[in-house]
Amino acid sequence: MQPTSPNTKSLVRAIIDKSSLKQKVYHNTLERFNIFKQESDEFVKANKGKLKKAPFPVLFEYIDRGVFEFQVKFGSDILIFFMHSNVFEIPRDHIVMKSSYIREDKTRSYCGIIHIFNFLADSFKYNRSNDIGYCIGRIFINHENHYFTEGKREIGLLYNNFTSNILDKKATQQIIHSSIHYTLNFDLLTPPYDNIKEVTVAEMQTTLDAMSISTGKRLGFRFQADDH
């Protein structure tokens, strides 16, 4: 058997170190994602009865869709929380890479990601496959359970101190509440007339749930520049 060279030992060590780091990040992210599931489920159960006092029936439910996805349905909206199974490194030009927290230990820049998507409930109810949803936020979690968020208004602005923020139960609750609050204020706008002025005979003969006229809260507008 050939003796192990120093280069081989170094390469094997690098494989072990990088794999161990990514496994740690993955398990941390999955653990936090399960807390998101638990807190969302408990929030719905604790408040569902209160909605019975509304003059019209109000949809409010939690749905577990497997290891990496769950949904919170409320009113005319659905929030889909989705955890990516892979681990990512924060881009070099990202602002958090300039922090002393990252400069002291580059392994802190490896993160798991939880995405938060907003769709209209009717898009799924009527199987409108052309309807548009939006990623309203995403949560980055590293091997020390530090986190920061990117997103719209409440979600992106309140939870971006990567150096000190720990994704504990309280922080999880705040993110869930902020996501629902943002969605409630992110209203459906009428699409521009030019987007719908022409419709084919086939589209008109098709049932409404299969029409290719897309519905989205900001259809025809640049969502990236939206102030909501």
For residue range 57-116, list pLDDT tens digits in order: 888 999 999 999 999 999 899 999 999 999 999 999 998 999 999 999 999 999 999 999
Question: Quick one: CA torsion of 224, 119, 54, 154, rounded to 10 degrees?
Answer: -30
pTM: 0.82
Instruction: Kindly state the average pLDDT of the residues 115-135.
Output: 87
* 130 falls within a domain: yes
E strands, the chain, are 60-64, 69-74, 77-83, 88-89, 110-120, 134-141, 147-151
Average pLDDT of the chain is 83
* 225 falls within a domain: no
For residue range 15-69, list pLDDT tens digits in order: 999 999 999 999 999 999 999 999 999 999 999 888 877 788 888 999 999 999 9
* 132 falls within a domain: yes
* 61 falls within a domain: yes
* 220 falls within a domain: no
Structural domains in the chain (count): 1
What residue numbers bound the domain in which 159 lies?
11-188
* 216 falls within a domain: no
* 45 falls within a domain: yes
* 209 falls within a domain: no
